[in-house]
Amino acid sequence: MHAMQISPVRVSRMCDGAVRRVTLSNADSRNVMNDGFFDAMEIALDGIPQLPSFDTKNPLPVAAVDHPFVVLIDADGPSFCAGFDLRECVEHAQSASRFVELLGALTWRIRSSATIVVASVQGAALAGGCALAASCDIVIASPKAKFGYPVHRIGISPAVSLPILARTLSGSASRMLALSGEVVSAAAALRMGLIHRVIEDEAALSSAAVEFAAALAKKGPRALLSTKMFLNRLDLTDDATAAGAATHASMGTAMHEECRTMLGSFWAARSNG
């Protein structure tokens, strides 16, 4: 008998289709990122166009909005997203670099999409999970949420997240997060500007996130999307070349012998104890 395949992502409609809710639903595996996850995210964002490039001669090319212009990403279980599926990375040598490439594509897709993306983070958002949250326009979280890039211990650089992280936070905060591997609390992430609101009553996070997305859906969609396009230009997160180069930098580390060795040791230590 085959084990039932559970989709790692669940999609639902809210607010007459103005809001698309994308719920990471592989709670038992802490919503880890693997091929199935990235495929499901691609399908979840299907039909949402990309923002056009900023054109000084035509500053408002955002056409009529007939797609969901707010996306709410939340998650089942105690973790928002624990990053890459490390078992898969240990068992298949090419997986880590492929996941980095897919993560770079996903974060770019989110940042450059013609929709306002809200993340609701109830638990750990680590490594790729932190990169996912950072790529969203607005992040709300429970006091129990945790953020960070503890990836140097497995020989992978978080460079893939840096084009957004370094533009979102102060130089001091982005260097601390990207170089130390330290995991920070929701309160610290709020002080840094990585997240934007902490809902003190953790049981109320889900309903607060839904209310929040619904409130965004009442605003002018064209105004929202043109403002996002201009903000991407102002903070240079519309730079596809930088995003691509950063992805390649991380992929380079993920393909290196150092990563295979460190990842193997890390996994063995975790499995033993």
Partner 1 sequence: MLVRATESNGVVTLTLNRPEARNALNLELMRALREAVERVASTPNVRVLILAGEGRSFCAGMDLKGVAADPVVMGSMLTELAETTLALRNVHCPTIAAVQGAAIGGGCGLMVVCDFAVTHADAKLGYPEVDLGISPAVVAPWLVRKIGAGRARAMLLMGGTMSGQAGLDAGLVTHLVAAELVQSTAVELAQRLITGGPKALAATKKWLNELDESYNREVVLQGARLSAEQIRSEEAQSRIRDRLKGV
Residue 216 binds partner 1, judged by CB under 8 A: yes
8 A C-beta contact, residue 249 and residue 104: no
# residues near partner 1 by CB under 8 A: 33
Q: Say how far apart CA 150 and CA 218 lie, in whole Å.
A: 38
Residue 63 binds partner 1, judged by CB under 8 A: no
Q: How far is the CB of 187 from partner 1 (least distance, A)?
A: 13
Contacts of 13 (CB under 8 A, 6+ apart): 19, 20, 21, 68
Q: Which stretch binds partner 1 (CB under 8 A): 21-29, 76-84, 93-101, 162-170?
A: 162-170
Residue from 50, 193, 201, 265 touching partner 1 (CB under 8 A): that is 193
Q: How far is the CB of 135 from partner 1 (least distance, A)?
A: 11
DSSP annotation of 50 reads: B
Residue 223 binds partner 1, judged by CB under 8 A: yes
Residue 56 binds partner 1, judged by CB under 8 A: yes
Q: Strand runs (DSSP E) across 108-174, as ranges? A: 116-121, 124-126, 138-141, 146-148
Contacts of 210 (CB under 8 A, 6+ apart): 14, 21, 72
Residue 231 binds partner 1, judged by CB under 8 A: yes
Report the side by side order of strands in the sheet with 19-24.
9-14, 19-24, 70-75, 116-121, 138-141, 197-198
Q: How far is the CB of 241 from partner 1 (least distance, A)?
A: 19
Spell 236-261 as b/e; 16+ CB within 10 A means b.
ebbeeebbeebbebbbebbbbeebbe
Residue 60 binds partner 1, judged by CB under 8 A: yes
Residue 20 binds partner 1, judged by CB under 8 A: no
Residue from 93, 234, 240, 269 touching partner 1 (CB under 8 A): that is 234
Residue from 104, 129, 163, 221 touching partner 1 (CB under 8 A): that is 221
Q: Say how far apart CA 130 and CA 161 lie, in whole Å.
A: 8
Residues that bind partner 1 (CB under 8 A): 54, 56, 59-60, 116, 137-139, 167-170, 193-194, 196-197, 216, 218-224, 226-228, 230-231, 233-235, 237
